[in-house]
Amino acid sequence: MKRRDFSIAALASATTGMTSAQGAAPVAGKDYLILDKPVATEAKGKLEVVEFFWYSCPHCNAFEPTLANWLKALPKDVDFKRAPVRFRESFEPQQKVYYVLEALKKLETHHAKLFYAIHVEKQNLASGDAIITWAEKNGLDRKAFMDLFNSFTISGKARQAAQLQEAFNVEGVPALGVAGRFYTDGSLAGSMEKALQVVNYLLAEVRKGK
């Protein structure tokens, strides 16, 4: 998948083919990439896994149930976080809504609702005004949501997510960063399900000190 190419056809190509034989150990440069420059992580004493995503990405939406099942068995030494991407300035409103929901402690209830609104109900939630209206319709206080949405704090978090995306050289979404050192996605691994297998392998390798 070409960087910043968001056609449905390009997104679909990210899930075809597996580069390594069934059961074979993932191969660096083929199933995952080793970062030229390691990225500092926030997970003190734990291994950090980052999902890079975009609410309007159909493959991010399709990946959510698989990711949710993987997270149910997340080892205690692994810290998981999400980073909404910004490949264009028009992505910023959907970055900010993620961090507003996080600040309001509403991610657990509203993260999936936003995916549903976009991909099932076909709502156009690309602008700040549309997102704020959606939030109000879904039980959130309009003024409190809007104040956070327009705050320097939330804008700063969105910029940090974009910087993290650049540090991992994210080529498309969904994608996964591991321990500040490795990157994989559906295009490399063959599918996002197999990308999670690659993540499990890399976590095991890091635990061994590799």
pLDDT tens digits, 51-88:
999 999 999 999 999 999 999 999 999 999 999 999 99
Higher pLDDT, 95 or 44: 95
**13, pLDDT greater than 50:** no
Residues in the chain: 210
Instruction: Using a cut of 0.85, tell me whether the model's pTM lies above it.
Output: yes
DSSP line for 126-164: -SHHHHHHHHHHTT--HHHHHHHHTSHHHHHHHHHHHHH
- pLDDT at residue 52 in the model: 98
The amino acid at 80 = F
φ, ψ (nearest 5 deg) of residue 48:
-100, 130
Of 35-44, 77-86, 106-115, 171-180, the range with the lowest mean pLDDT is: 35-44
- In this structure, is the dihedral angle defined by the CA atoms of residues 67, 57, 102 and 125, taken in order, positive or negative? negative
Residue (of 19, 60, 25) closest to 187 by Cα position: 19
**Integer Cα distance of 93 and 161 in angstroms:** 13
**4, pLDDT greater than 60:** no
Q: Tokens 């498309």 label which residue? A: 172
**9, pLDDT greater than 80:** no
Indicate the pLDDT class of residue 1, thresholds 50, 70 and 90: very low
Higher pLDDT, 18 or 91: 91
Give all strands of the β-sheet with 182-185 in edge-to-edge order: 33-34, 182-185, 175-178, 47-53, 78-84
pLDDT digits (tens, 9 = 90+) for 114-171: 999 999 999 999 999 999 999 999 999 999 999 999 999 999 999 999 999 999 999 8
The structural domains of the chain, ordered by start, are 31-207 (3.40.30.10)
How many Cα atoms occupy the beta-carbon half-sphere of 208 within 13 Å? 7
Please enumerate in sequence order all residues whose Cβ is within 8 A of that of 193, keeping only pairs 6 or more positions apart, or say none.
66
**2, pLDDT greater than 50:** no
**Integer Cα distance of 173 and 125 in angstroms:** 18
**Integer Cα distance of 140 and 185 in angstroms:** 34
